[in-house]
Amino acid sequence: MLRKFSYPNKNRKILIFKEIETKTGVIKQYIHPEGTSIKAYVRQLSGNEQNSLEGVQNASVIEFVINQRKVEMDMFIEFQDKVYGINGDDDGEFYNTEIKLRGYPINKKTYTEIRWS
């Protein structure tokens, strides 16, 4: 019997976007429609988990668990007025139901245009 794993507490709202380089500047393109967000389970990694990440000592690595969707490593996550670069993913034991993303804080940028899918 196939076990279906799921995080029940996806009670945080995040936004995911990619950057598109153009001749006139960089465009911020969200992967979801305007006025919507993505529900996520969000937590900060523990000290032990961070130590196991090949010596990375950044105390602000955040784990986001969302329902399965196409997310690429060059995309960004907005959560609580901060922006996180995506530096790792885990397909939830390959059940194709959820994806875990690890993010690290980055500085906000200014964009020439904002688009929604």
Query: Which numeric CATH code is attached to 12-115?
Result: 2.40.10.270
48-84: string of b/e by CB count within 10 Å (b at 16+)? eebeeeeeeeeeebbbbbbeeeebeeebbbbbeeebb
Give 23's pLDDT tier (boundaries 50, 70, 90).
very high
Contact present, 86 and 73 (Cβ < 8 Å): yes
All structural domains of the chain with their residue ranges: 12-115
Over residues 91-108, the pLDDT tens digits come to: 655 667 889 999 999 999
53-72 confidence digits (pLDDT tens): 555 555 578 999 999 899 99
